[in-house]
């Protein structure tokens, strides 16, 4: 028997959902809540197999916050989001909180029940769109991680003068301004910039500056 907790702030939706679940021979609702705070408390005092969690309840992200708090105490808890939100940002934020599945409201009861049974069996059946989104995000993070490691490695090989040059570039200083501030010839700055571009594998200083800002490592300079 799959023991389910339900979190949904709309009374009618919550009641209908509980009715549908309780009609199944292999499912039973062991508790329901109308807010993130309520479901947190219920999850800590109830034996359950999974939580069917709305996202927007007393606040826009109440379900996400509740999920994080529940998983802090019950690491193995299986939480499925059932929500009207389907933006990429909300999906990524929600799944990042530790949920095992993300279901958009409005699906057929049979589909919802299949999601629940699959999650219970440890084989969450994420929607194709959500799978693709998560794969793209994973790929982006891997690329970002490789870029970060490369930049940190490159930065560690820079001379003090080159680090200072990068700092000035991050301040959007022009070549003439850099030369004046460092009391050197413009040609000297240009030579140092060529060395920087070669080390970072870039063709323009803007690429170096943009990447450092994107990777959030400006503090290294």
Domain span at residue 179?
145-220
What pTM, to 2 d.p., does this model score?
0.60
Do 10 and 44 fall within a single domain?
yes
* Cβ partners under 8 Å of residue 110, min gap 6: none
- Cα torsion through 41, 2, 58, 109, rounded to 10: -170
Pick from 65-79, 129-143, 195-209 the range whose average pLDDT is largest.
65-79
Per-residue pLDDT tens over the stretch 74-106: 988 999 999 888 777 777 777 778 888 888 898
CATH number of the domain to which 201 belongs: 1.10.10.10
Q: What is the mean pLDDT of the chain?
A: 86
Shared domain for 116 and 36, answered yes or no, is yes
* Same domain membership, residue 81 and residue 114: yes
Across the range 151-174, mean pLDDT stands at 85
Examine the domain organization and report whether 122 and 164 are in the same domain. no
Give the separation between CA 51 and CA 67, rounded to whole angstroms: 9
Does 134 reside within a domain?
A: no
| Residues 120 and 149 placed together within one structural domain of the fold | no
Using the Cα atoms of residue 121, residue 134, residue 65 and residue 22 in order, give the sign of their dihedral: negative
Classify residue 219 by its DSSP letter. G
Structural domain tally of the chain? 2
């Amino acid at each position: 028997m799959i023991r389910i907790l339900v979190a949904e702030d709309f009374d009618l939706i919550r009641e209908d959902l509980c009715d549908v679940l309780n009609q199944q021979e292999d499912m039973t609702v062991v508790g329901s809540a109308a807010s993130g705070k309520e479901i947190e408390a219920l999850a800590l005092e109830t034996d359950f197999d999974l939580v069917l969690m709305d996202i927007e309840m007393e606040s826009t992200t109440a379900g996400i916050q509740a999920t994080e708090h529940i998983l802090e105490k019950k690491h193995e808890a299986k939480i499925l989001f059932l929500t009207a939100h389907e933006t990429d940002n909300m999906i990524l934020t929600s799944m990042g909180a530790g949920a095992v599945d993300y279901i958009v409201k409005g699906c057929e009861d049979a589909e919802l029940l299949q999601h629940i049974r699959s999650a219970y069996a440890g084989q969450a059946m994420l929607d194709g769109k959500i799978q693709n989104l998560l794969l793209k995000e994973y790929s982006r993070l891997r690329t970002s991680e490789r870029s970060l490691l490369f930049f940190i490695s490159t930065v560690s090989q820079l001379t003090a003068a080159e680090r200072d040059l990068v700092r000035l570039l991050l301040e959007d200083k022009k070549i003439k301004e850099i030369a004046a501030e460092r009391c050197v010839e413009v040609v000297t700055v240009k030579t140092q910039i060529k060395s920087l571009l070669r080390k970072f594998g870039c063709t323009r200083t803007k690429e170096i500056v943009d990447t450092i800002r994107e990777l959030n490592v400006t503090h290294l300079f």
